[in-house]
Chains A and B, each alone.
Chain A
Amino acid sequence: MRERVTSIEVTAFRGVPGSLQLDFARGRSTMLFGENGTGKSTIADALEWYFTGRLDFLSHEGRKHAIRNLGAKGSLTTKVVIVTDGRLGGEVQHPDSPPQAAIEAGQNTPFLLRGRTLADFVDKRKAEKWKYLSDLLGLRAVDQLRLDLQTAMNDLKKALMATQQELRQRESMLTQFEVAPTEVDVLKAIRTRCAAVDFPTPETFQAAVSPTWAKQMYPGSESSETAHRVAAVRASLPALQATPNRAPIDRWNAALDTSDASSQLRLSLYSTAQEYVESISPTDTCPLCGQGIKSDELADRIRLVIGGLADAAKRIQSAQEPAAMTFEVLKQMAGAARAAVSQAAGLSIVLEAPPSGTPIEEAEERLRRHSQIAWPPLSAYIQELEVWTAGAILILDAAAPVPASERDRSILDLGLLISAAREWTRARSEETRAKAAADIATAVFTEYQEAQAKHLERILERISSRVGYLYTKLHPNERLSEAKIVRSADKGLELSINFHGTDQSPPHGVLSESHLNSLAIALFLAMAEAFNSELGFIVLDDVVNSFDADHRGQLAQVLVEDFANRQLLVFTHDALFYDRIRRYSSGWGFLELTSWSYAEGPRLALYETSALLAKAEASLSDDRIGAAQKGRRALEELLQEVCEGLGGRVAFRRGVKNDRREIGELIPAVRSLLKSGDSAAYKVTGELLTGIEADVATVFNVEAHASATSASGAEISTALRRVSALEGVWTCSSCNTRVWHSGSSDSWQCRCGAHGFPGRLDIGIFTDTL
């Protein structure tokens, strides 16, 4: 459910020194009109503070004290109270944080657009636009899983390379027996050798490499076991025929020579900074330069820069991975050499220490630091390893026991072949499994990446479609169309518009400031509509400043017609815009701030008859006294409004302002107005006013006589209907405005001119009602 704001109360906050309450009855769209400096933005600020926990305008250093009104009495607590039609309402007091549920609903949610920040998104750089959308949609978490899937895939590919390297090594051992690495050839070779020494021949390859069969067939002697172990060490030596070549290193160096290199250097720097900033405790100053900035904001800025360098990073990464694989192979060879030394020592055979792997470590470090890698030290290392391996083979061969006879030599040869075949089988099996895992990882990563791209594409299409519609509606009959958001490289977004048949991106070259602002409004509204999953209201604070009269009208029409399913809270000082919304809308609420003073803050020019009557009706069933109190207040409001609107004469009383007049004084004034200005209406309403006077003395007279406790719900309801009927007398049933909407004391009239005063009151509905 998307929640609407039904009322807001601000105390000692921003432009309000005391307390100000605005009622958006039952969450309807409301327009708040007021000249500059009358306090409209304070209401927008209050909503921003409550639903985000901060005021963006005051987030700069040294402005936070401005949350509290400077003229507020010391006894007043700075606070904002929000009432919604759901669970998000509550209270926030300075300096505490708003309720968590409100923050979660409002953060990263586009619900507030201000005139002063209207063009912000349009003017953002591509990477900043990406970041905004990314934050809005939580795309960072989606992308982090993609990166983790990529890491898992790369790790599994490395593991696959290791098994492939071992497999090649095992295959090379078989070729030493002049046997091709296929099950058929290996089985054939084993059977030939078995036959040569009168051993039973295995039926299948599986039987030949089975440890059980080999043990039965080949009990072995101590010397042959030693010979096997020596042969095993020999087999584990680095497989030099699979030595990596320099191509991946050359490709890496070439990538660094491109224009990506400087970006890459910056990326490296920012990546290091990111690691550091994320590793330290939260702080209010930059750990590098001491400038005042919160660490999370600093981290955001760093991420923004890194996002902008993403394309370069991708190209570099595609060159980096093969180089990293090369080092994996070399490290595996070095590890094999060290393991061989250790295994030989177990047989009391001394092998020289293999060459130091320092060149590999240094090259890996250079890769990590995104530096050029020299091939000669690696080449020299590989040559040293070749020399070392050749020497190790000589030593191992010399240390292997010599068979006593030719037959023993053949048996030993058979045993070594079976052992090599078994190792080849194991390596092949491991390679198969590793390949399957790497294939799965690649498939998952590829599909995820595609799903992520389609997800983003769908989002952009959806927003673009709505932006295009809204923009065209704001600018009909202009040769501008297809306003949309387009991808720009990997992590960038840009706005585009079709101008006389050609796509322009960014559109700044072909759009005026007001057109850019229209685009910003269209974009904001589309995003607010698409992404506000919990907030059912949208706040527009002074957004039409750069619009001409026609476009103010277009915007008013768009807001009323296309956002009927949202609660719009529109704040403006523009009378024309205000008038257009009033003209197009039905069911909206209208509030007006007339002035602002240091001592009292905003002053609301508002008579609340309708709203109070609605509240009275609503509380009738469970709070009759409350309903009667509200009914009395509604009547008082109406009578005051009529007297103010038509200049009703009320008795002078020293020290008491007109808006303190009580019902007993106001009813005679209204009677007098009717009598002098509309005798027909006076005749018809005489009975109504008499009834109302009786209600004031009985049903509505809660304080004096507590009679409402005995008044039935039906009696109170009738009294409320009488007040409502009296309101109808002064209201045009066609345009829903008061009869003194325009004109002068000689001739007032409603907005549409159908009714007026004197002489033309709307008593048709009234007579029907009673």
Chain B
Amino acid sequence: MTDPPPSESPAAADDLLRLGPSEVLEIALLRVPGLSTSHIANLHAAAVDLPHRVGALKKAMSDITGA
């Protein structure tokens, strides 16, 4: 008879190390002053709008200022 394998150590699972673009953007946007929740949501939506991302980002940023 063999012992069951030990359970995973919670410290070993550090998924923070594998951040994708969306997660890094989230961290960044929270530090930009003056952005509301809806602004952040719009910028997120623009960031995943491939392949029109640059245009979508420009529009979202212009919309924030009402331009």
Contact = CB atoms under 8 A, between A and B. Distances in A.
Interface residues of A, number: 55
Interface in A157-212: none
Interface stretch (A22-30, A250-258, A369-377): A22-30
Interface in B13-65: 13-21, 24-25, 27-29, 31-35, 43, 47, 53-54, 57-58, 61-62, 64-65
B5 A567 contact: yes
Contacts of B32: 440, 443-444, 447
A547 interface: no
A462 interface: yes
A437 B57 contact: no
A529 B9 CA distance: 11
B57 A26 contact: no
Interface stretch (A40-48, A142-150, A266-274, A667-675): A142-150
A148 B57 contact: yes
A142 B20 contact: yes
A148 B53 contact: yes
Interface in A447-467: 447-448, 450-452, 455, 458-459, 462
A155 interface: yes
A434 B67 CA distance: 7
Contacts of B53: 145, 148
Contact of B21 (A144, A614, A724): A144
B17 A137 contact: yes
B33 A142 contact: no
Main secondary structure of the interface of A (DSSP, over half): helix
A565 B7 contact: yes
B57 A152 contact: yes
Contacts of A346: none
A451 B6 CA distance: 36
Contact of A565 (B8, B19, B67): B8
A722 B50 CA distance: 66
A535 B40 CA distance: 34
A565 B58 contact: no
Given A443-B33, A565-B7, A450 B28 contact: yes
A493 to B, nearest CB: 15
A455 B24 contact: yes
B5 A28 contact: yes
A581 to B, nearest CB: 15
Interface string A123-155: 000000000000001100110110011011001
Contacts of B6: 564-565
A434 B58 CA distance: 11
Given A152-B54, A565-B12, A440 B64 contact: yes
Nearest to B22: A145
A156 B58 contact: yes
A455 B24 CA distance: 8
A26 B5 contact: yes
Contacts of B13: 2, 533
A617 B31 CA distance: 58
A436 interface: yes
A457 to B, nearest CB: 12
A611 B58 CA distance: 63
A499 interface: no
A617 B4 CA distance: 14
A491 interface: no
Contacts of B8: 2, 536, 565
Nearest to A27: B5
A447 B18 contact: no
Interface string A634-650: 00000000000000000
A586 B2 CA distance: 9
A677 interface: no
A448 B28 contact: yes
Contacts of A137: 17-18
A155 B54 contact: yes
A447 B30 CA distance: 9
A753 interface: no
A133 to B, nearest CB: 11
A587 interface: yes
Contact of A610 (B2, B4, B47): B2
Nearest to A727: B1
A416 interface: no
A447 B31 contact: yes
B53 to A, nearest CB: 5
A434 B66 CA distance: 10
B49 to A, nearest CB: 10
Interface in A514-535: 529-531, 533
A437 B14 contact: no
A536 B6 CA distance: 12
A451 B54 contact: no
A531 B6 CA distance: 19
A444 B15 contact: no
B20 A440 contact: no
Contacts of B65: 433, 436-437, 440
A273 to B, nearest CB: 21
Contacts of A149: 57
B17 A459 contact: yes
- Of A137, A565, A610, chain B has the most CB atoms within 10 Å of the CB of A565
A273 B33 CA distance: 41
B52 to A, nearest CB: 10
Nearest to B34: A440
Interface string A601-641: 00000000011011001000000000000000000000000
A586 B5 contact: no
Contacts of A451: 24-25, 27-28, 31
B15 to A, nearest CB: 7
Contact of A462 (B14, B35, B66): B14
A484 interface: no
A531 B16 CA distance: 10
A447 B28 contact: yes
Contacts of B61: 152, 156, 437, 440-441, 444
B66 A433 contact: yes
Contacts of A617: 1
A4 B35 CA distance: 45
A429 to B, nearest CB: 9
A714 B60 CA distance: 71
Interface in A564-587: 564-567, 586-587
Contacts of B19: 142, 455
A248 interface: no
A27 B5 CA distance: 7
B17 A28 contact: no
A613 B1 contact: yes
A506 interface: no
A566 B29 CA distance: 37
27 contacts: A138-B18, A138-B20, A142-B19, A142-B21, A145-B53, A148-B47, A148-B53, A156-B61, A433-B65, A433-B66, A437-B65, A440-B34, A440-B65, A441-B58, A444-B28, A444-B61, A447-B32, A450-B28, A450-B31, A451-B24, A451-B25, A458-B16, A458-B17, A459-B17, A530-B17, A533-B13, A614-B1
Given A148-B53, A441-B57, A533-B18, 9 more contacts: A2-B8, A137-B17, A148-B47, A156-B61, A444-B43, A451-B24, A529-B12, A565-B7, A587-B3
Interface of B: 1-9, 12-21, 24-25, 27-29, 31-35, 43, 47, 53-54, 57-58, 61-62, 64-67
Q: Give 6 nearest A-B pairs by CB, closest first.
A: A433-B67, A436-B65, A447-B28, A145-B21, A448-B28, A152-B57
